[in-house]
Chain A
Amino acid sequence: MLLESLDRSCRAAQSAADLLRLSMDASAGQALVDIVDGMTELLRDLQADLAEPIGSVLAELVFAQERGDNLRVADLVEFALLPRLREVRRSL
């Protein structure tokens, strides 16, 4: 179940990053919602040492999104969140 959720979040993360770089904000917004939904479930089930780095990326991501900095959001999703999710997947 957790693996499936992680795979879905990884796909959504790559998709969100690409869509943000393409200025397709509406579609990217939907992909970001999918990521947040997946993260809510994941962070609840993960050990603190794995959950905390993801939580800090998400906090920075929200901050970037609030100022409309879509390329920063894309960078965070693709180069900070996605590697951490893959790390979690490998550790399971």
Chain B
Amino acid sequence: MRENMEILDRRWPALAAWLAQAPEAELLLLEGVPAPTLCVNGVQLAGAFAPRAEAELQGRLVPQDARSATVYGLGQGALPRALLRRSRLERLRLVLLSRAAARAALTYVELYDWLADERLDVLVATPELELETPFSASPAELLLADPEAWRLRDLVQLELATPYLRRRLEDQDGFSVENRLRNEGLRRSDRDVSVLDGAHKGCTVRVAASGPSLAEHFDALRAGGVPLVAVDSALAPLLAAGVVPDVVVTMDGNERSMLAVFDVPRERVRDVTLVYHPTSPHAVLAAWPGRRLAARPPGPRFEGFTRTVLWSSGSVLHAAVDLAARTRAARIELMGADFATPEGCTHVEGTAWRKSVEPHPARPRVLDGHGRPVLSLRNLVGYLHDLERYVAAHREIEFVNASRTGARIAGTRYHEELPHAA
């Protein structure tokens, strides 16, 4: 479409160069349908039956009275066109996520009726770009996103999944309430986690998560000498490797899962401190032979609990990192914090929850420490970006990612003298 390109060249000349770098893609026109549709690498850019109704539906994510909005992904252009029909809209940002998809649409679809609209700005997704609301998105382009757009794509998907995740959390409230009631006595007798505040001021603290790369650090951990905070699911593999952590953090309320996770020899954990949330299963807490310290998660549901908050957006690793920060560690070394499934596994060997993960086009990928794509899971990607925000907000602490096997965590650095990090 020469007209599309003329507008692009005039208004956003840098975009033409960006589009020229599009990788080779398999391009098809899906015919024999009410609205012939482009397919890029086997993925339809738009619905082939009622694309206008589809765009109207997607546009409902942007309130009718919004003055500005963002669209992530061009699709076949129906969504930006639908939004620009709104006279109240003063500014529309179109963020392109996939070179191949954008080039296909700009080459073969008539878009010039709205591309020239002065209210429109078109930009390319970069790793630094933050999510802007209100927004709507092209499902195809989220899937076809280029690696530079993965972080932004993840933020879009996480935001769209939030209502569902909230409902799931509410569903879990049943056993949470029961656990809270059953733990009331323990919570009163156990001390608060704040007794660990400042315990390792100026020192290095290691945090062990249960990603597959944890196994890379067993030799270093066996050598000891550095305080070790572990997440609950890392306890069994650590003990099996001859490593006894100083502190274990737990917050999951599912009794059956947690009994499996804590199925470890009691005599091996007598000197280990268990930091727990009020929602932890009572059976696990009552059977713990060592010291217990009580904490609570953030959020209004727990405001009635007079215990110190350990930050988490859902991952126990967050709480373990926050605990390490509360000890006033100058440096926190993250081990097994993969936020991905390297070698097709969710956890290090020896964890109760270890599963194989099959590759699937819709499964998210993150970049590992070598800059290579590695398969992940939607929840892990969300936890990764939440941890990155936490790291950015704690500049006083040096965060070290001890392995390049898992996801690159923005704001951390690799300590090249650590084994397996080079």
Contacts and interface: CB of A to CB of B under 8 A. Distances in A.
Indicate, yes or no, whether A interacts with B: yes
Interface of A: 18, 20-27, 30, 65-72, 74-75, 78-79
A24 B43 contact: no
12 contacts: A25-B362, A26-B161, A69-B42, A69-B43, A70-B362, A71-B139, A72-B43, A74-B47, A74-B54, A75-B47, A75-B48, A79-B49
B360 A75 contact: no
A33 to B, nearest CB: 13
Contacts of A25: 157, 160-161, 362, 378
A26 B58 contact: no
B57 A67 contact: no
A11 to B, nearest CB: 16
B44 A22 contact: no
Nearest to B34: A79
B137 interface: yes
> Looking at chain B's contact residues, is the secondary structure mostly helix, strand, loop, or mixed?
mixed
B57 A18 contact: yes
Contacts of A75: 33, 44, 47-49
A22 B58 contact: yes
A78 to B, nearest CB: 7
Given A26-B378, A66-B361, A69-B39, 5 more contacts: A22-B139, A23-B137, A23-B139, A71-B54, A79-B49
Q: Which of A26, A30, A66, A71 has the most CB of B within 10 A?
A: A71
Contacts of B361: 66-68
B29 interface: no
Interface in B134-163: 136-140, 142-143, 156-157, 160-161, 163
Given A26-B164, A27-B163, A68-B143, A21 B43 contact: no
Interface string B159-198: 0110111000000000000000000000000000000000
A72 B49 CA distance: 10
B46 interface: yes
Interface residues of B, number: 33
Contacts of B57: 18, 21-22
A26 B299 CA distance: 23
Contacts of A71: 43-48, 54, 139-140
Contacts of A22: 57-58, 61, 136, 139, 160
Contacts of A66: 360-361
A70 B75 CA distance: 13
A23 to B, nearest CB: 5
B164 A30 contact: yes
Q: Which of B39, B43, B378 has the most CB of A within 10 A?
A: B43
Contact of B140 (A27, A30, A70): A70
Contacts of A70: 139-140, 143, 362
Contact of A27 (B45, B142, B164): B164
B44 A23 contact: no
Contacts of B49: 75, 78-79
A18 B136 CA distance: 13
Interface in B37-64: 39, 42-50, 54, 57-58, 61
